[in-house]
Chains A and B, each alone.
Chain A
């Protein structure tokens, strides 16, 4: 019997997360900022804010560090545009630093009705 593809992915992600959990180093946000903004240009798709851009919204970060690291290593298991970063090109420590930095970014999501300019546009649609 063929299992749905999503089930394969879910199993892989959970296994990856379990394996990775034992190996996840502690991250340092200040180092992560340089890696995110300048060295690897994660900001290219996810914005300097982690909220803007063509890539997935990273803030608020909903993955655990282990889950995040597993995803970055194997993004092709999901239908996103995220390219894979192996440990060869992005060591675990750096990935942990990036995770710590993303977690430190402010989650300043507002509702449109709370922003006067957008609320005005919103009212014109109703």
Chain B
């Protein structure tokens, strides 16, 4: 009986919507006055039962998740306009978001009050994509993109990308809405709690004046080495209600300079380096800006010391001093610049460590400072900011005798560099004609199409033999932007789109060699690329597998003596094979493929590059050798 009664009386969401539609249709036939007198929602609600959606839920359905603000539904000078005035000081080029009710006030102010310029709004289809885009953008521009997150749900979607950015020391400026009226589960007493361990700082200001202070602090902390994500949580009402705070002004923002090493330590370091017989320089994330590369070239040339390391461009890879040094020579002094867990030199060598990492340490994550190895000279400072003083102090100590010794060393280093390059090029010939396409050929064939362009490699070359850095002339800071940071997959496609949008105004062609597993986390970022006309050539490294795990599982299974004939289970992306060109076309992007025959590559690249040069993204699906 109970179920019968429920069935009879139940309206249900679909039934309710049908009723609402019928009511609206009936009202549409009435004169305007009659329609105004009896809104369709009220009509339906009057006839509803206990199972009818609540008024709050109905409001969400029609896009009204909160009470009407201001007087007669018009908010004069809403708080979000003031927030935009404050944010304008940071010169954001873009704001990226997957739209959400909790920041509707800011969204509206950005596109109307601020006329959608500086920052321009970018539509992301997933918060992980939004933060990854900001990650890639910052690696090119050296400054953050503004990211809006929809309350706790948006933060959770974004969390993996935030962790990547945190581990990669990349500034991300995030604002999340809170205390909305639409869905109770989207409100939180401590919104930042769930990501506090992987951001540098957060705040939830209670007033507009407080927002201005917090906004400046968030920017300063995000940009201060070691750079990282910061989060502001902003009350929905504070955004949307009329600004009634008196004497409110936009405080002047002045960036703070990163700290350089103390002069005493710098002098001591210079003495060690100049007197060393085989000094080596190891880099991590030392070049925050293009100038960081210029400074390191100056130091390396002054000392004639080899430079290696770094997962992004810190030093021109075409430079004769780029490399591991003279074969067989043991380093007697190692200069580590922003290297995680700076290595202690073996065989009695001395170590100089300049790193900002120690300035911001969290306990939980193992790569960030807490396994820090003590060095002979340790400077808790930003490497790029310290290099001018170090260069100057070294220069003072270089005698004519030392200079002659440096020049002799430099000749040997240049020859070692040349031999290493020749070896790499020879290795690239192996498997050149293989089908599916080898990764050395995938990269090698592309070089003629970009070598005379201003290009930027906006994807990681891990899982790909590092071929672009071995074959291409990488000598600018934007020629290679490195890896995810925390190794979290799903970063690649988003970061590439963000970096391509950063490169766009410079007229650069961006290249993304995209692993298939990574793209499948959030492929809709291809639509974002098409919609916002990112000049990005994506070439699929389509090995039809989560290949790292294929190899790992293979090892595990054989070491258990249980065989490797089932390792495709859970690791291979086959049956059916994924058609990436069709996916890209579906998102509105020019695409070709799949290509398995390497002879077809050049023509496809030519067509793809032409599209990109015309200001649109293109994707070429290349079926590849596993590695």
The CA of A69 and the CA of B283, in the complex, are separated in Å by 44
Q: Is residue A44 contacting chain B, with contact meaning CB distance below 8 A?
A: yes
Q: What residues of B have a CB within 8 angstroms of the CB of A114 in the complex?
A: 429
In A75-116, which residues have CB < 8 Å from any B CB? 81, 83-86, 88-90, 108-112, 114-115
Given contacts A49-B431, A120-B448, 9 further A-B contacts (CB under 8 A): A41-B550, A51-B430, A53-B625, A88-B563, A89-B564, A110-B429, A118-B425, A118-B428, A121-B444
A109 to chain B: closest residue by CB:
B430
The answer to whether residues A121 and B447 also contact, given A41-B564, A83-B555, A111-B429 and a CB cut-off of 8 A, is yes
The CA of A88 and the CA of B418, in the complex, are separated in Å by 48
Q: Is residue B565 contacting chain A, with contact meaning CB distance below 8 A?
A: yes
Q: Is residue A125 contacting chain B, with contact meaning CB distance below 8 A?
A: yes
In B453-491, which residues have CB < 8 Å from any A CB? 471, 473
Is B434 in contact with A51, judged by CB distance below 8 angstroms?
Answer: yes
A-B contacts at CB below 8 angstroms, number: 120
Task: Please pick, from B422, B430, B434, B545, the residue contacting A122 in the complex, using a CB distance under 8 A.
Answer: B422
B9-17, B137-145, B435-443: which lies at the interface? B435-443
Q: Chain B 419-433, CB within 8 Å of chain A: the 1/0 string?
A: 001100110111111
Is A122 in contact with B436, judged by CB distance below 8 angstroms?
Answer: no
Is A89 in contact with B425, judged by CB distance below 8 angstroms?
Answer: no
Q: Is residue B169 contacting chain A, with contact meaning CB distance below 8 A?
A: no
> What are 13 A-B pairs at a CB distance below 8 A?
A39-B565, A41-B567, A41-B568, A43-B625, A44-B550, A44-B551, A44-B626, A51-B438, A110-B432, A117-B445, A117-B448, A120-B447, A122-B422
Is A121 in contact with B425, judged by CB distance below 8 angstroms?
Answer: yes
Q: What residues of B have a CB within 8 angstroms of the CB of A41 in the complex?
A: 550, 554, 564, 567-568
Is B422 in contact with A125, judged by CB distance below 8 angstroms?
Answer: yes
Q: Is residue B291 contacting chain A, with contact meaning CB distance below 8 A?
A: no
Is B432 in contact with A40, judged by CB distance below 8 angstroms?
Answer: no
B428 to chain A: closest residue by CB:
A118
Q: Is residue B112 contacting chain A, with contact meaning CB distance below 8 A?
A: no
Q: Chain B 543-572, CB within 8 Å of chain A: the 1/0 string?
A: 001010011001101110111110110000
Q: Chain B 200-241, CB within 8 Å of chain A: the 1/0 string?
A: 000000000000000000000000000000000000000000
Q: What residues of A have a CB within 8 angstroms of the CB of B434 in the complex?
A: 47-49, 51-52, 108
In A49-80, which residues have CB < 8 Å from any B CB? 49, 51-54, 57
Q: Is residue A45 contacting chain B, with contact meaning CB distance below 8 A?
A: yes
The answer to whether residues A109 and B439 also contact, given A44-B551, A89-B558, A122-B422 and a CB cut-off of 8 A, is no
B417 to chain A: closest residue by CB:
A125
The CA of A52 and the CA of B429, in the complex, are separated in Å by 10
Q: Is residue B627 contacting chain A, with contact meaning CB distance below 8 A?
A: yes
The CA of A108 and the CA of B547, in the complex, are separated in Å by 25
Q: What residues of B have a CB within 8 angstroms of the CB of A112 in the complex?
A: 425-426, 428-429
Task: Please pick, from B425, B445, B559, the residue contacting A125 in the complex, using a CB distance under 8 A.
Answer: B425
- How many whole Å from A88's CB to the nearest CB in chain B? 6
Q: What residues of B have a CB within 8 angstroms of the CB of A89 in the complex?
A: 557-558, 561-565
Task: Please pick, from B445, B555, B627, the residue contacting A47 in the complex, using a CB distance under 8 A.
Answer: B627
Q: Is residue A2 contacting chain B, with contact meaning CB distance below 8 A?
A: no
Is A115 in contact with B430, judged by CB distance below 8 angstroms?
Answer: no
Is B564 in contact with A47, judged by CB distance below 8 angstroms?
Answer: no
B551 to chain A: closest residue by CB:
A44
A38 to chain B: closest residue by CB:
B568
A117 to chain B: closest residue by CB:
B444
Q: Is residue A124 contacting chain B, with contact meaning CB distance below 8 A?
A: yes
Q: What residues of B have a CB within 8 angstroms of the CB of A118 in the complex?
A: 425, 428-429, 432, 444, 471
The answer to whether residues A47 and B431 also contact, given A112-B426, A117-B444 and a CB cut-off of 8 A, is yes
The answer to whether residues A47 and B438 also contact, given A54-B551, A83-B559, A89-B558 and a CB cut-off of 8 A, is yes
Task: Please pick, from B471, B547, B554, the residue contacting A121 in the complex, using a CB distance under 8 A.
Answer: B471
The CA of A39 and the CA of B569, in the complex, are separated in Å by 11
The CA of A99 and the CA of B557, in the complex, are separated in Å by 21
Q: Chain A 20-53, CB within 8 Å of chain B: the 1/0 string?
A: 0000000000000000001111011101110111
B-to-A contact residues, CB < 8 Å: 418, 421-422, 425-426, 428-436, 438-440, 444-445, 447-448, 471, 473, 545, 547, 550-551, 554-555, 557-559, 561-565, 567-568, 625-627
Q: What residues of B have a CB within 8 angstroms of the CB of A48 in the complex?
A: 434-436, 625-626
Is A109 in contact with B429, judged by CB distance below 8 angstroms?
Answer: yes
Is B626 in contact with A53, judged by CB distance below 8 angstroms?
Answer: yes
With a 10 A CB-CB cut-off, give which of A44, A112, A124 has the most chain B CB atoms.
A44
Q: What residues of A have a CB within 8 angstroms of the CB of B425 in the complex?
A: 112, 118, 121-122, 125
The CA of A88 and the CA of B560, in the complex, are separated in Å by 11
Is A52 in contact with B558, judged by CB distance below 8 angstroms?
Answer: no
The answer to whether residues A115 and B432 also contact, given A53-B625, A89-B558, A90-B563 and a CB cut-off of 8 A, is yes
B626 to chain A: closest residue by CB:
A44
Is B627 in contact with A54, judged by CB distance below 8 angstroms?
Answer: yes
The CA of A81 and the CA of B558, in the complex, are separated in Å by 12
Q: What residues of B have a CB within 8 angstroms of the CB of A124 in the complex?
A: 473
Task: Please pick, from B429, B448, B547, the residue contacting A44 in the complex, using a CB distance under 8 A.
Answer: B547
Q: What residues of A have a CB within 8 angstroms of the CB of B567 in the complex?
A: 41
Is A53 in contact with B432, judged by CB distance below 8 angstroms?
Answer: no
Is A47 in contact with B625, judged by CB distance below 8 angstroms?
Answer: yes
The CA of A52 and the CA of B443, in the complex, are separated in Å by 14
The CA of A9 and the CA of B194, in the complex, are separated in Å by 54
Q: What residues of A have a CB within 8 angstroms of the CB of B565 in the complex?
A: 39-40, 89
With a 10 A CB-CB cut-off, give which of A41, A90, A108 has the most chain B CB atoms.
A41
Q: Which 9 pairs of residues, A with B, have the shortest CB-CB distance? A: A89-B563, A49-B434, A51-B431, A83-B558, A52-B431, A52-B625, A53-B627, A47-B625, A52-B438
- How many whole Å from B597's CB to the nearest CB in chain A? 13
Q: What residues of A have a CB within 8 angstroms of the CB of B428 in the complex?
A: 112, 118
Is B561 in contact with A86, judged by CB distance below 8 angstroms?
Answer: yes
A88 to chain B: closest residue by CB:
B561
Is A43 in contact with B626, judged by CB distance below 8 angstroms?
Answer: yes
- How many whole Å from B208's CB to the nearest CB in chain A? 56
- How many whole Å from B420's CB to the nearest CB in chain A? 10
Q: What residues of B have a CB within 8 angstroms of the CB of A108 in the complex?
A: 431-434
Q: What residues of A have a CB within 8 angstroms of the CB of B547 in the complex?
A: 44
Q: What residues of B have a CB within 8 angstroms of the CB of A39 in the complex?
A: 565
The CA of A39 and the CA of B448, in the complex, are separated in Å by 38
